[in-house]
Chain A
Amino acid sequence: MTIPQNLRYTKEHEWISVDGDVATVGITAFAAEALGDVVFVELPEAGSEVSAGTPCGEIESTKSVSEIYAPVDGEVTEVNQAVIDTPESVNSDPYEQGWLFKVRVESMPELMDAAAYTALTQEG
C-alpha cells in the first residue's frame, strides 16, 4: 500500500497536498482498497464553503458508501470533473488522477504526516 511521504493525512483516510494557499484533497489508497471499486463520487460545488471535519460529499462503491469530509476550512475552488466521469480512477490512481477537489485554505487543523498515517493504517 503506497503512502506518499510528501502528503498530509486525516483520520478519515484522506490525503491533502498543499500548494501555496490551495489544498488538493483525495482519499488514500488504503481507503480506496477498503471501499472496493468506486462507482460514484459526489463532490462539493466549486465556490461553496467547507469546514474541517464536516461531510461535504459522498464516495460510493458497489458494496458501501462513505462520506467525504472536508479536511480544512475554506472555499472550494475546483472539483475534479474527470473523477466524477470515471470514478474508477480513485482506485487506479488515488494520489494523482483520482484527486477529488481543491480548497483555498482559510484554516487548517493539525494533520498527520506519512509516518503517523502509516501507523494509523497498521492499527487494524
Chain B
Amino acid sequence: MKTPLHDVHSGLGASFTDFAGWDMPVRYSSELAEHRAVREASGLFDLSHMGEIELAGPQAADALDYALSGKLSAVAVGRARYTMMCNERGGVVDDLVVYRLADDRYLVVANAGNAAEVSAELVRRAEGFDTTVTDRSSETALIAVQGPTSAAIVGAVSDADLSALKYYASVPTTVGGREVLLARTGYTGEDGFELFVAADDAEAVWRVLTEAGEGHGLVPCGLACRDTLRLEAGMPLYGNELSADGSPFAANLGRVVRFDKEGDFVGRAALEDRPEPETVLVGLTGGGRRAPRHGYRVLQGDDEVGEITSGALSPTLGHPIAMAYVPVRCSEPGTTLSADIRGRLEPVEVVALPFYQRR
C-alpha cells in the first residue's frame, strides 16, 4: 500500500521499506542526520500508514470505556490519552492514542500493523452502545512535525494558539487553507505536532510545512530515525515491547489500566486476577559500539534470564541502548547483566527509562 505522499517521497529521493504492508520512507539521506535534526531542529514525518477510527454517538464514551483499558469518558474535550486495547486474556491488542473531539466524538489512532484488527474489534465491542464506528484510515493522512523548532514552524502556518495547546491536546484549525486536526503529540521524545488531514490535502499541507520549515532546520524524516528516536525516549513499540501475550503491567504501563472506572471492560477480569508480573521491561546500556538487538539473549552470569526487545547504538548518546524483559530480581537499576551479541557476551547495565529526556 502507498500513502497519499508516496510520490512526494519519491521526488525527495527516499529509500523505501515495507512496514506492515505499506511502502514507507525508511530514510531520505542519512538516518543519523534525520535523527539529529529532530533532536536539534525539526523533522517532518509521513505517518499516514497509521489507522484512524472515529466513534460518534451519545454512548461513544461508554463504548470506549468498555473497549479499552483507559477511562476515556474522563478525558476532556480537546484532550488526548495514551491507552491500550487488551484482549480477554489481558494481553495487548494495540497501544493507542485516543483524542476526544467532542462530547460524543472520539478519534482512535492505531498502529499500522494493528489498524484493521483494532477497527474490527471496536465495531464488535461497540455493539449494544449507541455509537457509530467508522474506519477513516484510508481517507485520512497523518503528518508529524517533531523537534524543538516545531512550534515555530506550525505556528507560522496555523491560526491556532499554540501556547494554549498543551501536550496531548488537539484543536481543529487550518494549514494552507486546508482543514486539519492539529495535535500536540508524538513518538520522538521532543515537543511536536501531529496533523490529521484529508488524504487529498496531504500533499498541500506537506508542502506548506516544508516551506515554513526553511530557516528552522526542518528535514523530511523516515522510519529508521523514528525508531531510534522512540527507543531513546523509552517508548514501547508494538511487536517489540508489546504483544497479545504480554501484559501492560510487565511493560510498566499499569497506569493506563483503569480498574477504578465503573463497569466492565475487555480484559478486566484477566488483568485483575493476573499475578504480579514475573518479568518486567527494563532499559539497558552498554559500552563500546556493538548494540544488542531484538531477539538477542540476556544473561546473568551463565543463566539466560531474558531477551532484548529493541536495541541500537544511540545516535544522541553515542553508546548502545536497549530494552529487554528480565525477571523482577534482575530489574533494579545498576544491576549488571550481559547481552549475547552474536556469540560474544557484552556487559550491559540496567538503567531507568527513558534513556533520553528533553531539557
Could you tell me which A residues sit within 8 Å of B by CB distance? 33, 36-37, 39-40, 42, 58, 60-63, 65, 88, 91
Contacts and interface: CB of A to CB of B under 8 A. Distances in A.
Given A63-B31, A91-B30, A39 B228 contact: no
Nearest to B320: A40
Contact of B224 (A58, A62, A91): A62
B8 to A, nearest CB: 20
Interface stretch (B83-91, B98-106, B289-297): B289-297
Contacts of B154: none
Contact of A39 (B26, B227, B289): B289
22 contacts: A33-B15, A36-B27, A36-B30, A36-B224, A37-B31, A37-B32, A40-B313, A42-B290, A58-B342, A60-B289, A60-B290, A60-B291, A62-B31, A62-B32, A62-B35, A62-B228, A62-B312, A63-B227, A63-B312, A65-B293, A88-B32, A91-B30
Contacts of B155: none
Interface of B: 15, 26-27, 30-32, 35, 224, 227-228, 289-291, 293, 312-313, 315, 342
A62 B342 contact: no
A56 B291 CA distance: 18
A123 B330 CA distance: 48
A63 B30 contact: no
Given A60-B313, A62-B312, A37 B290 contact: no
Contacts of B31: 36-37, 61-63
A62 B319 CA distance: 11
A60 B341 CA distance: 12
Given A36-B26, A61-B31, A63-B31, 9 more contacts: A36-B27, A36-B30, A37-B31, A39-B32, A39-B289, A42-B290, A60-B291, A62-B228, A63-B224
Contacts of A36: 26-27, 30-31, 224
B313 A62 contact: yes
Contacts of B315: 62
Contacts of A88: 32
Q: Pick the 6 closest A-B CB pairs, nearest first.
A: A40-B289, A37-B32, A39-B313, A37-B30, A63-B224, A62-B312
A88 to B, nearest CB: 8
A6 B224 CA distance: 34
A120 B31 CA distance: 26
B224 A65 contact: no
In this complex, which of A37, A62, A65 has the most chain B Cβ atoms within 10 angstroms of its Cβ?
A62
Contacts of B32: 37, 39, 62, 88
B336 to A, nearest CB: 22
Contacts of B290: 40, 42, 58, 60
Nearest to B291: A60
Nearest to B223: A63
A96 B30 CA distance: 20
A33 B313 CA distance: 18
Nearest to A34: B15
Contacts of A91: 30
A61 B30 CA distance: 11
